[in-house]
Structure 1
Amino acid sequence: MRETVGELVRRLRLARGWSQQRLAEALAQAAPERIPPTRNDVSRWEIGTRSPREWLPFLAQVLEVPRELLEAAKAVKSPEPAPHVLTVADFLPDGDLLAPLHSRTGRRIGAGQVADLGQRVHGLRLADDVVYGKDLIGPALRELRAAVKLYREGTHTDAVGHELLRAIGELAQIAGWVASDAGEHAEAERIYRLGMSAAHAAGDEVLSGNVAGSLAYQWSNTGRAGDAVDLARAALDSAGSDAPPKARALYLDRVAWAHTRAGQDRPAMAALGEAGDALAEDSAGTESPSYLYWMDAGELQVMEARVYTELRRPLRAVPLLTDVLGRYDASHARELALYLSWLAVAYADANEPEAAAGTASRMLALGQSGSERTAERTRIVLDRLRAFRDVPEVTELLAS
């Protein structure tokens, strides 16, 4: 079967080792008088949802093939499209937020600067373990703006550019997480979409899935459970079966939570089981991205307990959460407060209001002024306990 023009462009692009972003940049340089195409334009040409007709001569120039070859391919009819399956690309921003400036006047960027940026990203991630979002959002956003400016204005090789895009993707994931913890959900979504775009342009679908999963998690918790299921599933599918076990476990963790928040018990429990199977494949010899350092059996146990709590199965949730809290590092006050909030709700569902009040008191003692996540969980716990307002321990708690 002859190739369509989209299939031909994709094959020629991959033969050169170019990303869709790199092809868009080359076209912009070849036709400086035109409005430059974006990576999304290239993606649409390749999947056949849009024709590159006015760009054919420039495609021929940058891909170094006769224009007639592209014209012939343009005449080939695309087969009937299969039912559309959502991918991470469906959730990327329409505008190209990472388009390099046409006249770059910044300094030459080398591998050393990228390595320094990577260290700062890791430092920010470690800071998020112990610092609330409202206290960390300023530094996180400054780092992200600086990284994007470095990529857009600096000069660098393709290899360094790809590493910069990966660093921006990682930075956007943690900055989006921080913004979400600060209650800045619209800002967090913009940051996450930027990170997905950067990771996608770098050809790193594992990282793209990690960022997409974070956005799906936010949607799960902010009333968009249906969208969260679609995005979490797309992240899992886009990364593919070759993704590291820890990454697949994390994607499935997000899938489970999205289904839980959508009230879909069976797929939620199935995803949890698959997450456990994926993590069981991890071994000392398995290489995972450094940003997945926190993903382990304990984290899955926490999600399992949360799912059971949300599904009103406290007899399963309470033992899991009690075990986790018995092993948890008290220096991570935010996570400790969040886990205590789930345990308090589980106790309330088990008709143990005294235990629920005692657990809630421990949670409140940790404070939550800098984290919207813990503030929201506090509201949920106190609302749940009002059904037991006649119990002395609950009465005292609600009056404090």
Structure 2
Amino acid sequence: MRETVGELVRRLRLARGWSQQRLADLLAVAAPGRVPPTRNDVSRWEIGTRSPREWLPYLAQVLEVPRELLEAAKAVQLPAPEPRVLTVADFLPDSDPLAPLATRAGRQIGAGQVVDLANRVHGLRLADDVVYGKDLIGSALRELRAAVKLYREGTHTEDVGRELLRVIGELAQICGWIASDAGQHGEAERIYRLGMSAAHAAGDGVLAGNVAGSLAYQWSNTGHTAEAVELAQAALEDAGPDAPAKARALYLDRVAWAHTRAGNDRTAMTALGQAGEALAQDSPGAESPTYLYWVDAGELQVMEARVYTELRRPLRAVPLLSDVLSPYDASHARELALYLSWLAVAYADANEPEAAAQTTARMLTLADGGSERTSERARVVLHRLEAFRDVPEVAELLAS
């Protein structure tokens, strides 16, 4: 079968050992008067979502092939393809937020500086466990801006640059999560997309899946349910079948939640079962990325219970949540408040308003204005309890 122009460009690029960014840089040199292409442009040419029409002569020059060869490949008509599985590349921003500056005046970046940044990123993750988003967002964004500046302005080897991109991807994931918790959803989406670009450029599909899955989770909770389903599935696709067990379990959990919010009950339950099966394959000695340190059977149990609550199956949700919450670390006040909010709703759905009121009261003592997530969940729970206003415990709670 004859090659498409995207397949030809990819084959020629790989034969030279070039990255997509390297090809984009060489094209920019070959056409100094044009707006330079980005790595994302090259990616889209290769997967066939865009055509390199006006770039054909420059591609021929850089790849050292006759222009007629590229023109012939561009004319190849393939049979109607099967519906294409979306990947994270389909959700990258149009421009490259990590494009290096034309003149890099910064200092040489070494592996030690990347390790230092990675340690600060993990410290930020641990801080997020106990500090609310509105209290953490300022320092998190300063750290992210400094890291992007370091990459764009500094000079570094290809290996160091790749590791720096990977750390920026991790940093963007936690910064996006913090921004979302602070209620800054537009800012969070911008940050997540930057992180997806960094992970994609680093060639780290597991990390790209984590960042994309985080954005899918936000979309699930902010009304963009169809897009959330597509992105959550793309995150799982990028991670691949050989991803660490914890990664596949987490990404399947996000697929389950996206389908739950979209009203696809059966698909959600299937994904939940697959998440449990994936985590069961984890072994004590198995290596997983540091950013998955929190993924365990208890967290999957919480998601399962949330799905059951959303599907109005409280008799399944209540035992799961009660089991997880009994030994839960009280220093993680935000997560504890969020999980209690789901338990309160499940009690209300089970027609146990007294238990729902008691659980809500406990939840409200932990909720804090610094987290938009807990504030939103408090509004949801209190609205749900309005139906039981004639119950004394509920009436007292609503009046306080």
User: TM-score if structure 1 supplies the norm length?
Assistant: 0.95
- Partner of residue 343, structure 1: 343
State whether residues 109 and 156 of structure 2, in contact with CA within 8 Å, keep that contact through their aligned partners in structure 1: yes
Deviations 1:79-137 (A, max 9, x none): 13413332211111111111111111111111111111111111111100000000010
State whether residues 216 and 254 of structure 2, in contact with CA within 8 Å, keep that contact through their aligned partners in structure 1: yes
Could you say what secondary structure the match of 1:105 adopts?
coil
CA spacing shift, 1:322–1:261, aligned 2, 3 Å: same
Deviations 1:143-167 (A, max 9, x none): 1111111111111111111111111
Q: Which amino acid aligns with 1:128?
A: D
Give yes or no for the alignment of 1:227 onto 2:222: no
- Partner of residue 79, structure 2: 80
Matches within 5 A, 1:245-256: 245-256=245-256
Deviations 1:273-294 (A, max 9, x none): 0000001111123221111111
Name the count of aligned residue pairs: 399
For residues 6 and 30 of structure 1, what CA distance do their matches in structure 2 show?
Answer: 19
For residues 240 and 122 of structure 2, what CA distance do their matches in structure 1 show?
Answer: 25
State whether residues 56 and 67 of structure 1, in contact with CA within 8 Å, keep that contact through their aligned partners in structure 2: no
For residues 5 and 264 of structure 2, what CA distance do their matches in structure 1 show?
Answer: 42
CA spacing shift, 1:119–1:30, aligned 2, 3 Å: farther
Unaligned stretches of 5+ residues in structure 1: none
For residues 18 and 295 of structure 1, what CA distance do their matches in structure 2 show?
Answer: 36
State whether residues 56 and 70 of structure 1, in contact with CA within 8 Å, keep that contact through their aligned partners in structure 2: no
State whether residues 128 and 178 of structure 2, in contact with CA within 8 Å, keep that contact through their aligned partners in structure 1: yes
Deviations 1:197-230 (A, max 9, x none): 1111111111111111000100111111111111
Matches within 5 A, 1:65-144: 65-67=64-66, 70-71=69-70, 74=73, 77-82=76-81, 83-144=83-144
For residues 35 and 8 of structure 1, what CA distance do their matches in structure 2 show?
Answer: 23
- Partner of residue 218, structure 2: 218
Q: Percent identity?
A: 80
Unaligned stretches of 5+ residues in structure 2: none
Deviations 1:161-182 (A, max 9, x none): 1111111111110000000000
- Partner of residue 302, structure 1: 302
State whether residues 357 and 394 of structure 1, in contact with CA within 8 Å, keep that contact through their aligned partners in structure 2: yes
For residues 138 and 264 of structure 1, what CA distance do their matches in structure 2 show?
Answer: 37
Matches within 5 A, 1:1-400: 1-63=1-63, 65-67=64-66, 70-71=69-70, 74=73, 77-82=76-81, 83-400=83-400
For residues 309 and 390 of structure 1, what CA distance do their matches in structure 2 show?
Answer: 23
How big is the shift at 1:382? 0.5
For residues 253 and 69 of structure 1, what CA distance do their matches in structure 2 show?
Answer: 48
Q: 177-186 vs 197-206, which deviates more? A: 197-206
Q: 313-322 vs 30-39, which deviates more? A: 30-39
CA spacing shift, 1:322–1:159, aligned 2, 3 Å: same
For residues 336 and 385 of structure 1, what CA distance do their matches in structure 2 show?
Answer: 20
User: TM-score if structure 2 supplies the norm length?
Assistant: 0.95
How big is the shift at 1:245? 1.1
User: Would you identify which runs of 4 or more consecutive aligned residues in structure 1 move more than 6 Å?
Assistant: none
For residues 125 and 288 of structure 1, what CA distance do their matches in structure 2 show?
Answer: 16
State whether residues 108 and 154 of structure 1, in contact with CA within 8 Å, keep that contact through their aligned partners in structure 2: yes
Q: Which amino acid aligns with 1:343?
A: L
For residues 108 and 80 of structure 2, what CA distance do their matches in structure 1 show?
Answer: 44
State whether residues 209 and 236 of structure 2, in contact with CA within 8 Å, keep that contact through their aligned partners in structure 1: yes
How big is the shift at 1:59? 3.3
State whether residues 213 and 251 of structure 1, in contact with CA within 8 Å, keep that contact through their aligned partners in structure 2: yes
> RMSD of the alignment, in Å?
1.7
State whether residues 354 and 391 of structure 1, in contact with CA within 8 Å, keep that contact through their aligned partners in structure 2: yes
Could you say what secondary structure the match of 1:375 adopts?
helix
For residues 71 and 321 of structure 1, what CA distance do their matches in structure 2 show?
Answer: 59
